[in-house]
């Protein structure tokens, strides 16, 4: 297909035929001149894909440690932080480093500092999880490295935001997410300090509940909500008109999270049903905003959009289980809490991440390898979707959907068979995703001869 892409605010989705490449590509979109180098976001996404696979493999291999009285907290802590630090946080930081020029029309405050933050977070997460799984008491070293990396990310992103002329709606969500990330880190340090002293928190279990929700709702969910308004609209070719449901979702989420944090951390968990209800209403308002985006779309449901719909279903299950636990309709047990966290991380965050990354990574590879910069027309370049396998993406979706159902069901029913089946499907999804990512990145190493013009 002969084409010269004409990118909009976030780049091309597919080339339009016949247009000559009259000027260097990077001059066609002002944000591209400010974008970070290709390797910066990509190293985040590669490390995240590897972490996702390691989590899935370890989840299957150590399946028998998750139920019963032989529950090994260090093993579960390692699994949890492989998913949260290596998969979720690494993906979010990589996406934010790449999206900064689009959202705020300014370059990253420091690409070197962002690269150093990646090294600290990657080394810290690996060392922390390795120490937990090996039984070493030196896990504090990995935790310190990871915390240093997160602090450096906060510096880079906060300074970048301050340099922006104006923060859009998505930017405000991300800014709030970073504020909650600071609170999350502070709460974590306080919990570690108070573990043997019981001076700060009279109810350590309640403080842990507050800590978990600062992560799942404040940092992860607000970031996902903000990014989804921009990316899902773009990928669906849908115009985001009325924002009233989204504004209501943001207000309710903040009220519910702040109330839950104070109540669980310091006030004895007296009003947990109230905060759970507010957070659920926030999710309903957010889902209604996404429904408007999908109803106005001008594109068929491809795997990326299907992953987003799957995330909405997983988020609904997470909210319903949270309400059940808060009102006492679901027995509060270790297994029920693991089901709750799995709904949040595997049912809500993971499918959303997969949906967006299936668009972002091929787009970045396309820009790096096939954008027609100074080529002499006619130029033969692929569509972005040609750099990935849609069939494999649909298989990833099917495997993840099964794992999303079987894993929390296995925890709630304390069924080892269901957990094992869910783990097998999850590992299948992670393996397929890794293969699809490798297929896309293979174009960086060697261009496909079908699309390499003789004048290049």
What is 207-230 written as a DSSP string? HHHHHHHIIIIIIIIHHHHHHHHH
Neighbours of 320 (CB within 10 A): 15
Contacts of 193 (CB under 8 A, 6+ apart): 200
Rounded-to-integer distance, Cα 219 and Cα 36, Å: 23
Taking only the tens place, the pLDDT of each residue in 216-253 is 999 999 999 999 988 888 777 666 667 889 999 999 99
With a cut of 80, say whether residue 180 has pLDDT above it. Answer: yes
Sign for the pseudo-dihedral over CA of 408, 350, 178, 145: positive
Percentage above 70 pLDDT, the chain:
85
Q: What is the pLDDT of residue 1?
A: 37
Question: 11 by DSSP, 3-state: which?
Answer: strand
With a cut of 60, say whether residue 308 has pLDDT above it. Answer: yes
Q: What is the pLDDT of residue 194?
A: 63
Rounded-to-integer distance, Cα 229 and Cα 239, Å: 10
Q: What is the pLDDT of residue 33?
A: 67
Q: What does the domain layout of the chain look like in residue ranges?
A: 300-456
Taking only the tens place, the pLDDT of each residue in 268-287 is 899 999 999 999 999 999 99
Residue 293's Cβ-side half-sphere holds a number of Cα atoms within 13 Å equal to 27
With a cut of 60, say whether residue 13 has pLDDT above it. Answer: no
Q: What is the pLDDT of residue 164?
A: 82
77 or 341, higher pLDDT: 341
Of 50-54, 68-72, 410-414, minimum mean pLDDT range: 68-72
With a cut of 60, say whether residue 264 has pLDDT above it. Answer: yes
Q: What is the mean pLDDT of residues 25-33?
A: 47
Q: What is the pLDDT of residue 25?
A: 35
pLDDT band at 12 (very low <50, low <70, confident <90, very high): very low
303 or 235, higher pLDDT: 303
Tokens of 376: 């002499």
197 or 147, higher pLDDT: 147
Of 13, 86, 23, nearest in space to 350 by CA: 86
Q: What is the mean pLDDT of residues 38-64?
A: 93
Residue 96 host element (H or E): helix 90-104
Q: What is the pLDDT of residue 101?
A: 75
Of 82-96, 177-191, 230-244, minimum mean pLDDT range: 230-244
Q: What is the mean pLDDT of residues 330-357?
A: 94
Taking only the tens place, the pLDDT of each residue in 120-135 is 999 999 999 998 888 8
Percent of residues in the chain assigned helix, strand, coil, to nearest 5: 75, 0, 25
Looking at every residue in the chain, the average pLDDT score rounds to 84
Top-ranked range on mean pLDDT: pick from 10-24, 199-213, 316-330: 316-330
- Phi and psi torsions of 211, nearest 5°: -60, -45
Q: What is the pLDDT of residue 452?
A: 60
Of 172-181, 226-235, 421-430, minimum mean pLDDT range: 226-235
With a cut of 80, say whether residue 22 has pLDDT above it. Answer: no
Rounded-to-integer distance, Cα 157 and Cα 164, Å: 11
C-alpha radius of gyration, the chain, whole number: 22
Q: What is the mean pLDDT of residues 27-39?
A: 66
Q: What is the mean pLDDT of residues 374-394?
A: 79
């Amino acid at each position: 297909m002969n084409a010269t892409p004409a990118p909009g605010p976030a780049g091309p989705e597919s080339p339009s035929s016949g247009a000559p490449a009259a000027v260097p590509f990077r001059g066609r979109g002002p944000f591209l001149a400010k974008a970070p180098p290709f390797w910066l976001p990509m190293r985040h996404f590669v490390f995240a894909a590897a972490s996702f696979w390691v989590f899935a493999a370890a989840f299957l291999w150590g399946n028998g440690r998750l139920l019963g009285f032989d529950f090994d907290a260090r093993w579960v802590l390692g699994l949890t932080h492989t998913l949260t630090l290596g998969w979720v946080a690494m993906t979010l930081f990589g996406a934010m480093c790449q999206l900064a020029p689009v959202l705020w029309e300014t370059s990253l405050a420091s690409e070197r500092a962002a690269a150093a933050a990646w090294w600290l977070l990657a080394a810290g997460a690996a060392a922390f999880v390795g120490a937990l799984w090996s039984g070493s008491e030196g896990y504090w070293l990995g935790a310190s490295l990871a915390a240093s990396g997160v602090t450096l990310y906060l510096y880079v992103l906060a300074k970048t935001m301050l340099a922006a002329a104006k923060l859009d709606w998505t930017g405000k969500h991300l800014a709030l997410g970073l504020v909650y990330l600071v609170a999350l880190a502070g709460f974590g340090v306080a919990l570690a300090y108070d573990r043997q002293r019981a001076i700060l928190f009279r109810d350590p279990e309640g403080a842990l509940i507050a800590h978990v929700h600062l992560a799942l709702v404040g940092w992860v969910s607000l970031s996902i909500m903000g990014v989804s308004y921009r990316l899902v609209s773009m990928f669906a070719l849908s115009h985001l008109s009325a924002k009233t449901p989204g504004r209501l979702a943001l207000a309710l989420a903040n009220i519910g999270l702040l109330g839950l944090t104070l109540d669980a951390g310091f006030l004895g968990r007296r009003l947990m049903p109230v905060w759970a209800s507010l957070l659920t209403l926030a999710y309903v308002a957010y889902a209604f905003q996404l429904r408007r985006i999908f109803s106005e779309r001008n594109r068929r449901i491809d795997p990326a959009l299907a992953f987003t719909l799957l995330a909405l279903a997983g988020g609904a299950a997470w909210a319903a289980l949270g309400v059940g636990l808060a009102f006492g309709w679901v027995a509060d047990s270790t297994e029920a809490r693991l089901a709750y966290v799995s709904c949040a991380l595997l049912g809500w965050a993971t499918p959303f991440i997969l949906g967006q990354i299936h668009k972002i990574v091929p787009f970045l590879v396309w820009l790096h390898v096939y954008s027609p910069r100074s080529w002499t027309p006619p130029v033969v370049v692929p569509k972005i979707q040609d750099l990935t396998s849609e069939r494999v993406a649909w298989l990833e979706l099917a495997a993840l959907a099964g794992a999303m159902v079987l894993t929390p069901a296995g925890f709630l029913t304390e069924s080892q068979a269901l957990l094992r089946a869910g783990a097998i499907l999850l590992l299948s999804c992670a393996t397929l995703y890794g293969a699809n990512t490798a297929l896309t990145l293979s174009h960086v190493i060697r261009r496909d001869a079908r699309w390499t013009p003789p004048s290049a």
